[in-house]
Amino acid sequence: MDTAADRLLKRYHKARERRSVWEAHWRECYEYVLPQRQDFLRHGSAGDKGGDRLFDGTAADAVDQLAASLMAHLTPPWARWFGLAPGRGIGPEDREAVAPALERAAETIQSHMDRSNLAVEMHQCYLDLVTCGTASLMFEEAPLGETSAFRFTAVPLADLVVEEGTTGKLDVTFRRSLLTVAALRERFPEAVLSDELLRRAKDDPDLRLALIEAVIPEGHGHAYTALLNGEEAADAWDSAPGKEAVVLAEGRFAASPFINFRWLKAPGEAYGRSPVMKALPDIKTANKVVELVLKNATIAVTGIWQADDDGVLNPANIKLIPGTIIPKAVGSAGLTPLEAPGRFDISQLVLTDLRARIRHALLVDQLGQIASPRMTATEILERAAEMARILGATYGRLQSELLTPLILRAVAILRRRGEIPPLRVDGHLVNIQYRAPLAQAQAHQDAQSTLSWLEAVGAMGPEAAATVDMAAAARWLGRTFGVPGALIRERTPDTIPGSPLQ
């Protein structure tokens, strides 16, 4: 019988087939950049050494630095990287009353994020983003009684299948995970499991089944469905098509719990492309050059030897260690070294150029630490402007696909819990202010231009200065610099009722 669950499972399989063309590319990126990760499609192998074929660590180090820079510039832990402000739909006379409430709501959200595991899981997402161009963060509501209302999980690409919705974002999500029957009953306590399944789980407590979670946009929200169809193989990706799907849970979310975001989007492609993909030819070449250098060094240290077959010298019994006496026949050359046919001195020049290109492609020279301990104010501003220019397009995409959905999901959870007022963060009544260092770079440039203009107008004399609304300029500068709304007075003292200056 073709039920809604069966149709959803078929949709998952078709999306999985479309994703298969990316898997070889992703596996290659992980192999050269994050070898400590599990093999892309091999589950249950945590702790594998990895990196046996990796000889150059330039790209791996650059990826770590780029992920750490994104963490510090976009979502710095234990710092206020966002705020809530009145939108254009709230008049000036109401802004002063609304701003403190919005500030308290933003502090509540930030407090829950600081007490959650966001910093740990977000860093893993940034590593996936830089390596493969696509990452997913699962944002769940924690049970009552925990220190934070938020619980985050970095979803591996091996478990993720996504599609673009009508909005052009990755809002259609399928996640496959392997869980024991005990874990399924703990996560879905109201789910009805068959007697046969419970009997098999009793005989084999480690029996794992494939759980497929689907989040599909529906109206102004997202429909959630958890499917189970009896797969047991822990080393296989797909559940066998044709088995009857069992619905474990259904629900609806105001904001999707899966936040999928990309580094770069190519036209006609759902999954993103990463800076590692761009630098992969240089990464593979540098790795091969270092491998050849090491092989050449081995030959240079141990050498290649030749000997006459004179019936006395047995090469199988020779050990090239200090103090060894090697017998030879009278009049024979004995054991003599064989000169190498060529040298590999040019390799260092090639390797230096390759490493420089890798670090440039992964933005280490732009976003990394400064070698000089002293920087002037002008150098800091220029560096911030260069950083904003380089990451401008990427930051705009991350703001749309990561930061905004993250805050909207947090607002939806705390609003349902009653910890914050029923806010409508729609840009009309309530706006989101981004206060991370990368977001403030452009704001500081705009503020600097305004301050230069005010200084120039002030030098023109009283008549020119009279054209400037200083109170409005001060409020604009406060909002641009991310000053808390409670500190900005929307009305001047001479217009406030009951003011002594009235």
Measured in degrees and rounded to the nearest 5, phi and psi for residue 169 equal -105, 165
Average pLDDT over residues 31-42: 72
385-416 burial string, b = 16+ CB within 10 Å, else e? eebbeebeebbebbbebbbbbbbbbbbbbbbe
Q: Judge contact between 100 and 486, C-beta under 8 A.
A: yes
Q: Judge contact between 215 and 256, C-beta under 8 A.
A: yes
Please state, in angstroms and rounded to a whole number, the distance separating the CA atoms of residues 217 and 419. 26
pLDDT of residue 437: 74
pLDDT per position as a tens digit, 220-275: 889 999 988 655 444 444 444 445 678 889 999 988 999 999 999 888 899 999 99
Query: CB count, 10 Å around CB of 139?
Result: 24
Q: Judge contact between 35 and 58, C-beta under 8 A.
A: no
**H or E element, residue 273:** none
Q: What is the DSSP string of 430-444?
A: EEEEE-SHHHHHHHH
Please state, in angstroms and rounded to a whole number, the distance separating the CA atoms of residues 446 and 437. 14
Q: What is the DSSP string of 427-489?
A: SSSEEEEE-SHHHHHHHHHHHHHHHHHHHHHHHT-HHHHTTS-HHHHHHHHHHHTT--GGG--
Q: Where are the alpha helices (DSSP H) in 163-274?
A: 181-187, 195-203
Please state, in angstroms and rounded to a whole number, the distance separating the CA atoms of residues 172 and 213. 11
pLDDT of residue 384: 63
Per DSSP, the three-state class of 225 is strand
Please state, in angstroms and rounded to a whole number, the distance separating the CA atoms of residues 173 and 439. 28
**Residue whose C-alpha is closest to residue 150's, from 188, 120, 191:** 120
Measured in degrees and rounded to the nearest 5, phi and psi for residue 177 equal -140, 155
pLDDT per position as a tens digit, 340-360: 555 556 677 788 899 999 998
More confident residue, 488 or 137: 137
Q: Is the pLDDT of residue 502 over 50?
A: no
Instruction: State the distance between the two ends of the chain, measured CA to CA, in whole angstroms.
Output: 78
Average pLDDT over residues 192-202: 81
Q: What is the DSSP string of 289-308?
A: HHHHHHHHHHHHHH-EEEE-
pLDDT of residue 45: 56
Per DSSP, the three-state class of 206 is coil
Tell me the whole-structure pTM to 2 decimals.
0.82
Please state, in angstroms and rounded to a whole number, the distance separating the CA atoms of residues 492 and 502. 10
Which two three-digit tokens encode residue 419? 């910890």
Q: Is the pLDDT of residue 372 over 70?
A: no
Per DSSP, the three-state class of 498 is coil
Per DSSP, the three-state class of 269 is coil
Q: What totals of helices (H) and strands (E) does the chain contain, helices first?
A: 15, 12
Q: Judge contact between 33 and 131, C-beta under 8 A.
A: yes
pLDDT of residue 485: 65
pLDDT per position as a tens digit, 433-492: 888 777 776 677 777 778 888 888 888 888 887 888 888 888 878 777 767 666 777 665
> 431 forms bridges with which residues in the sheet?
85
Distances (CA, A) of 84 to 98, 103, 380: 10, 6, 28
Query: CB count, 10 Å around CB of 67?
Result: 21
Average pLDDT over residues 34-38: 75
Please state, in angstroms and rounded to a whole number, the distance separating the CA atoms of residues 152 and 411. 15
pLDDT of residue 224: 94
Q: Judge contact between 186 and 201, C-beta under 8 A.
A: no
pLDDT of residue 423: 87
Q: Judge contact between 420 and 402, C-beta under 8 A.
A: no
Per DSSP, the three-state class of 260 is strand
Please state, in angstroms and rounded to a whole number, the distance separating the CA atoms of residues 294 and 290. 6
Q: What amino acid is encoded at 196 in this protein?
A: E
